[in-house]
Amino acid sequence: MKAAKMELMKDSSEVVHYEREGVRLYIREANLSVYPELRAPCHWHDDLECIHILDGIMGYSINGQEIILHTGDSLIINARQVHFGHNCNGQDCRFLCILFHSSLFTGSDTLLKKEIMPVLEHSGLAYWHFNMPDSLGQTAAEILRRIGALKNAAPIGYELEVIGLLHILWSRLTRQIGELPPPGNSHTDLELQKDMMSYIYQNYGRKLTLAEIASSGRVSRSKCCQMFQHYLQQSPINFLNDYRLRITCNLLKNTELSITEIALSCGFNHLSYFSKMFMESFGCTPKEYRKKHCVS
């Protein structure tokens, strides 16, 4: 199976490769095992994201809040939220992922302003978790599975039907929300966290210090460490090194660069240190990893 690779926009939001140009819709089934250490990269994007667990258990982090998803559970993540899925029981998990942009919703300005944008822009609504035993959880699961089946069959005009199903799901969601709750706390810390992650994404190839990472978010070093722990359950330096290792995995699989060239390009100035960290993370040497995963 081809490994997942995340591409980034200038603001470090994820580049979403839609199924068809001009239709901002992305649907796929995947296993968590396509990601190194069964952990997807931490990211955000302008699209809403739906996750439906087909088989297994997955941990999911949204803005530092941890959720456990079981088989049949569904999750909708609002736009621009920092999130990632990860292993929580040492086993693989198969899931359906659907990304769609709000531009696919109704062309009615009145409905857009009344029923959609207030929810998308609400600071207190980061995600919605649907448990399978609940009635709304069963409805969400049925709709998302129908969308997955339509993608697999791909009949003519299936995207129109998918968009119709997303409208139905949204109507059920807004009905459950009812009157919008008071806005949550300011997103200032979340935006500063994105700034620091963006700085790492853009500068991982050179030597970075904790002071530089903190400075990119205009916070103290102690505040920087507190924020990374809250949002990502990692220290800033561990997050940096994990991201570097993810990049090395893609380079080992998809290029013919030497292991030394890959290590240096990703900010590891000492090959022995790189090899030690790689072994600790993936249980094999970079050479063994390349031999196992390289697609000829």
Q: What is the pLDDT of residue 10?
A: 47
Q: Where in the chain is CATH 2.60.120.280? A: 25-177
The CATH code of the domain at 25-177 is 2.60.120.280
CATH class of this structure's domain 188-293? mainly alpha
Rg of the chain over all Cα atoms, to the nearest angstrom: 20
Q: What is the pLDDT of residue 243?
A: 93
What are the residues whose beta carbons fall under 8 Å from the beta carbon of 173, sequence distance 6 or more?
Answer: 76, 119, 128
For residues 126 and 63, the answer to whether their CB atoms sit within 8 Å is yes
Residues counted in the chain: 296
Q: Where in the chain is CATH 1.10.10.60? A: 188-293
| DSSP string for 60-125 | EEETTEEEEE-TT-EEEE-TT--EEEE-SSSS--EEEEEEE-GGGS-S-HHHIIIIIHHHHT-TT-
Q: What is the pTM of this model?
A: 0.84
Query: d(Cα 223, Cα 216) in Å, to the nearest integer?
Result: 12
Each of the 296 residues of the chain gets a pLDDT tens digit; together they read 344 445 655 455 666 788 888 899 999 999 999 888 888 888 899 999 999 999 999 999 999 999 999 999 999 999 999 999 999 888 899 999 999 999 999 888 898 888 888 888 887 889 999 998 888 999 999 999 999 999 999 999 999 999 999 999 999 988 887 777 666 555 688 889 999 999 999 999 999 999 999 999 999 999 999 999 999 989 999 999 999 999 999 899 889 999 999 999 999 999 999 999 999 988 899 999 998 887 55
